[in-house]
Structure 1
Amino acid sequence: MSACEAGGQWREAMEIVERSRKVTGTPTPTVYIALVRLLLRCGQAEAAADVLNTAIVDDRARRIPGQVGLDVMKQLIAGKCFKRVLEVYRMLRVRGYIGRGRNSRARLTTMVTCYGARAAEALIAWRDVQDIYRLYLADREASGGGEDWEGLGRSLPCVVFRTLYKAKHYEEALPYLEDALSSKKFCNTILINMGINCLGKTKRWEEAVAVFERMPTELGHEPDSMTHGLVVNSLALSGRTEEAIELFDSMCKSTNPIFKSNPPALTACLNSAINACDIAGRWEDALDLARRAEKAGVKPDMISYSTLMNTLCHAGECGRALEVFRKMIKKKLEPGLVSCNYVLTYCSKHKAGMVAMEFLMVMKKAKLKVTAVSYNAVIAALFQEEQYHLVLEMFREMQLFGLSPDGFAIKHCLQACDITEAYDAAAGVVRGLWKTGTPVDERAYTIAFSVLARGAYIGVIEDLMNDMETRGETPGEGCYTSLITAYCKRGEWERAQALFEEMQQAPPEENIAPNQFTYNALISVYTFSGRLDLATQKFTEMAEVGLQYDIRTFVNMILGFAREDRYKDVLVMFQGLENLLSANARDGILVQPRSQTGYRNCYHETLKGCEVEGNWQMARRILKSMHLQSMDVDVVAYGAAIGACGRKGRWKEALEILREMEARDDVTGGEWRKALHLLLKMINSGIEPDTIAYNASISASANCGEWQMALKLFDSLFKAGLIPDARTYSAVMIACFKGHQWQKAMELFLRMVSEGKLPNKQTINILMELLDEAGKFSKRKDDRCCVRCGFSVP
């Protein structure tokens, strides 16, 4: 062995030890130690680790010094054999060579622990590094501490924190952060940046900013551009936008070379600052920030421009986003497809169809990848902007490139055909989808056939249905319903009825039996065409076959009866609609009518029926229901309800409706005259009105321009023993104002003030206008207003 050691013959030495084990048994610790040191001297660290492992197993008396293990670990670390380092650490720990709680072992235990932790960090073995540190703390506590423990172990919190950070276990890393920062010898700017980022990742933005503020003083390190970027991001996410912008500006203006030495970090900081503006919705600041950054020498990258575009899109500034995109292309920065599609999607949300189309053209001109998602977003944007002809154009272009539209794009295209009355184009859309192999679902077929039905294209519908059968597809109920509707629009009632009966007699497996939608379509066409007999027949038949009525059923019937002035039937149908809505409300069902216009017209027609039939109870219910549904109640509706009350002599109810009507600005003179007539009729009928009733009557007179009537009603109020309030005086003065009676208005004003009733701003303005018109009003410097007749208005 001595000869091999002297000659550096490590292979021969290993063979000698192996033969010795077989012949004489376990070699002595001295032999093992000599072999390990020989292997280390020859650079064979892994072989030394194997020998050490065998020696430790054989050395039951622990006569091999722990320093040998430390030497092996040191060389393994140098050779980046990190897995073997951990193996040696575990062996030394398990066999008791370290961690026995003795002060004499403090340095050895600490050094072995540090090497083990460094190996775990290199392997990102975050569980191992936590275990190593936990055992080290237990050893230190058992030994009572000491200078060796404290001095050499200060790097361990840094190692544990970095390992957990690299493993992206940010929450678990935080408990070690403060100890890592307090280790001045091992703490540096990189570690601090990791800590700030870790706090940001765990949404502890205020703490991240606090660490940044401690850097120059307490931690003794100057923040670099990466630090600024991380802090700007934390300020942005914590809502401190102004501070984020100021910090970025201060960095740009700084002459410190540390900021200029890392251009990518500067750009990252810019991105964080723009993101801060995005979060706060400050798109103008984002644009200004980007301009200032470029002047300061910061080069925006693809992420900078993409973030800026997103900021502008979120604020609805899609046109400006397009300008940024053009600038980006000019600088030869290629944006990601996801970023482009994101902008296009927001164009549809903000109804910027033309901008979206221009954006797509720039993408194609720059030879960027354009996908079906891009076209779908552009089609949606054009549809929202009501550019229906362009919707059809983009849809055709999409199919030309072999791209498959999604369900929304198909729906928008078919609806565009309907709105532009390009009914026959709907068939071309369906056939184009077939040609490109795009799957067409039942909903798309239903919409397409409905569009063709509105144009009464019977032949086209029949051809499409035949083509569907040739393709092995079965036309559904919606296709047959559309064909029936087309027959009805052409007046071919017999063919419509024959097809309807064919649907009724079809086997269940064909799934074309008439349903609620079929009946509603027939009822709608029948009522619109004046065939109320057929509509009523289908309405009755629905109940007989067990189909439930829905909102559309009742709306169609109500509008049909209203066209024929059959108001008794209108009221019966509306009662059914009320019962349906009440049942839905009890069951928690919220059903939106397909046509808001038809639904609103149905209420108005029913109010007209209430007026004709004198059904004041239903009229009041309808008004209340319209208010609850936030439906627009116009003066015609109010007038019909008042008329219904007046027909049955329900004057108090008419007055209540008038009070609602009085608050509106769009009431015409004719409606006010009608209301005034009803109120006067109420008074003449012997009903004793109160002050509120008189106020409403006087307001009605004022709105009709009847100032004499307003004064008579004012006198009648006193004769009835009632006391006028400020609103009464204001109403009479408004009537005098409309009749240009300034003297009467002035008398009323003086009387009002003498009774201690304070006029409102509108009353004073009316009086001033009247006096100015009569030449009785002037302005002075010492008084705000002065009336020449001797009364001063302060």
Structure 2
Amino acid sequence: MVAAVVPVYENMKKDCVQPNVFTYNLLVKALCQNDRVGAARRMLDEMARKGCPPDDVTHATIVSALCKHGRVDEAREVLAAAPPVCASYNAVVLALCREFRMQDVFLIVEEMVQRELHPSVITYTTIVDAFCKARELRSACAILARMVVTGCTPNVPTFTAMVKGLFDCGSLHDALRMWKWMVAEGWAPSTVSYNVLIRGLCSIGDLKGALSVLNSMEQHGCFPNVRTYSTLIDGFSKAGDLDGAMSIWNDMTGAGCKPNVVVYTNMVDVFCRKLMFDQAENLIDKMLFENCPPNAVTFNTLIRSLCGCGRVGRALGVFHEMRRHGCPPNDRTYNELLHGLFREGNCEDSLQMVIEMRNHGMELSLVTYNTVVSGLCQMKMSREAMLFLGRMIVQGIQPDAFTFNAMIYAYCKEGKIRMAAWMLGGMNAVNCPRNIVAYTILMAELCNQHRLEDAMVYLLKMLYEGIYPNTATWNVLVRGAFRNLGCIEPIDLVQHITRDLSAGT
């Protein structure tokens, strides 16, 4: 647009034709759209020099552009020098809310009042939404109350923001009461509102209620969109009702609603949970045919499920398909494959996968290092795992409890109690607090070696550090005590009875 407007403006100056405010507004808009906000601001000075005062549109355009580029303090300067316009103030309020600068927001609202400009429903709704997203519901309710007291009636977006915030904070009953208040006020919920309610009900497992809302939505002439169906499919899938998810998918396609990548990915997950891998791959092929390219999440969903079922070879095939379809594997893709390969005992290909990650310029994350260390430990390759742990520290990646627990477990399984104890002692040296799992693993091996007294020493150390035994810890120690007495049968009998009772319930 700048390329079209600027030459006309330059020709006007050459021909001594004085631009009017409409011309300047076109130029300011063009400059802002071309990310030349500084040049647009300088136009304000030129307009003043030429005796052409900027109008509300000029100021609003510049204020909105400055806010869009995160230059909200500059926007406030323009705002202060301009006639008070609600749209400009709302742009600043929105920008400040996005940065959660709520003290500044309240100053802006007070400034509006001082300039005899009443905050609109958009102003209040923006603030309510910001507090709800920050899960500060008391503040959101206070703003809602202020709206009502000042005679500003909440609208559908206001109620929708409140319902979403209440659901997100687990206040189910209050969310439903807010919904009923909206309907009682005569407001017709929008598709966005219905989607928020359906999402909230699905999040607490009330799928019957979610379906009832879907039916109500259609009866009131508000048609579900792709997000509505996506939320329901995801809700049914997470609840384990895969047939219900399939039914929603059929309703969606039957209604002519075109799925997006999120819905397709949810359905790939549904097929994978039902072990229908052929159908999952066919759906990915359909995505490509429908010009809806699968993303890394789609492929990772299939790869994770295949690896979990021990079909690592097929997962590797999907991995190569990713590249062919122009979807580069990410950190999670490699981690899923590493899990699968180590689970199969395929150490060689696992380590080759790590080399491939590096060759593609990928930095190994904590999760990747933990996957490799844990995999090597499971294969009783503690020496190699220790080498990876050393590389991890050299790379500046802090080992966590999972890393140490895996190493302690490996050393214990190899009977290297001294190394396991050394590893436990080294946790604090790298600011990784010792934990109940690490102590229990070590005490279990000590008991297996009939070293109950040493196990009790570690129990006292654990208690001294404020770590309290759990059921697994006591089970280890009691079994160790009976083993010391040469009689383990009573514990086995108690465990057998406990398992039978649990199965009966």
Return the TM-score normalized by structure 2: 0.58
Q: Give the counterpart letter for 2:481 in structure 1.
A: W
Write out aligned runs for 1:633-672 (5 A): 633=441, 636-643=444-451, 653=454, 656-657=457-458, 659=460, 664-667=473-476, 671-672=480-481
Write out aligned runs for 1:67-466 (5 A): 116-125=20-29, 130-135=41-46, 156=54, 158=56, 160-165=58-63, 167=65, 171=71, 172-180=74-82, 183=83, 187-190=84-87, 192-194=89-91, 196-197=93-94, 199-200=96-97, 204-213=101-110, 215=112, 218-236=114-132, 240-248=136-144, 259=153, 266-277=155-166, 282=171, 284-310=173-199, 317=205, 319=207, 324-337=213-226, 340-341=229-230, 344=233, 356-370=245-259, 373-380=262-269, 387-389=273-275, 391-392=276-277, 395=280, 398=283, 406-412=298-304, 414-415=306-307, 418=310
Q: How far off its partner does 1:133 sit? A: 3.0
Give the 3 Å change call, closer, same or farther, for CA 325–137 of structure 1 in structure 2. same
Give the 3 Å change call, closer, same or farther, for CA 284–87 of structure 1 in structure 2. farther
Alignment deviations for residues 676-724 of structure 1 (CA, whole Å, 9 cap, x no partner):
89xxxxxxxxxxxxxxxxxxxxxxxxxxxxxxxxxxxxxxxxxxxxxxx
Q: Secondary structure of 1:334's match?
A: coil
Aligned to 1:755: none
Q: How far off its partner does 1:234 sit? A: 4.7
Give the 3 Å change call, closer, same or farther, for CA 118–311 of structure 1 in structure 2. farther
Tell whether the 8 Å contact from 1:236 to 1:276 is kept in structure 2 after alignment: yes
2:392 to 569, 579, 588: 588
Q: Give the counterpart letter for 1:162 in structure 2.
A: A
Q: Secondary structure of 1:293's match?
A: helix
- Cα distance in 2 for residues equivalent to 1:617 and 1:584: 20
Aligned to 1:516: 348
Alignment deviations for residues 653-695 of structure 1 (CA, whole Å, 9 cap, x no partner):
5762564699543256563356689xxxxxxxxxxxxxxxxxx
Give the 3 Å change call, closer, same or farther, for CA 286–82 of structure 1 in structure 2. farther
Give the 3 Å change call, closer, same or farther, for CA 413–211 of structure 1 in structure 2. closer
Q: How far off its partner does 1:212 sit? A: 3.3
Q: How many residues are aligned here?
A: 412
Q: Give the counterpart letter for 2:222 in structure 1.
A: L
Aligned to 2:430: none
Aligned to 2:358: none
- Cα distance in 2 for residues equivalent to 1:416 and 1:295: 50
Q: How far off its partner does 1:588 sit? A: 1.7
Aligned to 1:496: none
- Cα distance in 2 for residues equivalent to 1:291 and 1:274: 10
Q: Secondary structure of 1:665's match?
A: helix
Q: How far off its partner does 1:302 sit? A: 1.7
Aligned to 1:771: none
Alignment deviations for residues 127-164 of structure 1 (CA, whole Å, 9 cap, x no partner):
6763343246679xxxxxxxxxxxx98x6474542231
- Cα distance in 1 for residues equivalent to 2:407 and 2:244: 35
Tell whether the 8 Å contact from 2:93 to 2:105 is kept in structure 1 after alignment: yes
- Cα distance in 1 for residues equivalent to 2:224 and 2:142: 28
Tell whether the 8 Å contact from 1:85 to 1:116 is kept in structure 2 after alignment: no
Give the 3 Å change call, closer, same or farther, for CA 339–205 of structure 1 in structure 2. farther
What is the aligned-residue identity percentage? 14
Q: How far off its partner does 1:555 sit? A: 5.2
- Cα distance in 1 for residues equivalent to 2:205 and 2:234: 13
Q: How far off its partner does 1:639 sit? A: 1.4
Q: Secondary structure of 1:587's match?
A: helix
Q: How far off its partner does 1:388 sit? A: 3.8
Aligned to 1:545: none
Q: Give the counterpart letter for 1:175 in structure 2.
A: E
Alignment deviations for residues 280-316 of structure 1 (CA, whole Å, 9 cap, x no partner):
5655544432221111111221222234445566x56
Tell whether the 8 Å contact from 2:97 to 2:105 is kept in structure 1 after alignment: yes
- Cα distance in 2 for residues equivalent to 1:269 and 1:518: 52
Tell whether the 8 Å contact from 2:79 to 2:88 is kept in structure 1 after alignment: no
Tell whether the 8 Å contact from 1:345 to 1:377 is kept in structure 2 after alignment: yes
Return the TM-score normalized by structure 1: 0.40
Q: Secondary structure of 2:158's match?
A: helix
- Cα distance in 2 for residues equivalent to 1:350 and 1:279: 18
Alignment deviations for residues 93-130 of structure 1 (CA, whole Å, 9 cap, x no partner):
9xxxxxxxxxxxxxxxxxx7xx7444312454456763
Aligned to 1:99: none
Q: Secondary structure of 1:633's match?
A: helix
Alignment deviations for residues 495-534 of structure 1 (CA, whole Å, 9 cap, x no partner):
xxxxxxxxxxxxxxxxxxx9924999xxxxxxxxxxxxxx
Q: Give the counterpart letter for 2:104 in structure 1.
A: E
Give the 3 Å change call, closer, same or farther, for CA 659–675 of structure 1 in structure 2. farther
Q: Secondary structure of 2:474's match?
A: coil
Give the 3 Å change call, closer, same or farther, for CA 605–235 of structure 1 in structure 2. closer
Give the 3 Å change call, closer, same or farther, for CA 247–382 of structure 1 in structure 2. farther
Aligned to 2:491: none
Q: Give the counterpart letter for 1:212 in structure 2.
A: V
Q: Secondary structure of 2:447's match?
A: helix
Q: Of the two, which has the highest radius of gyration?
A: 1
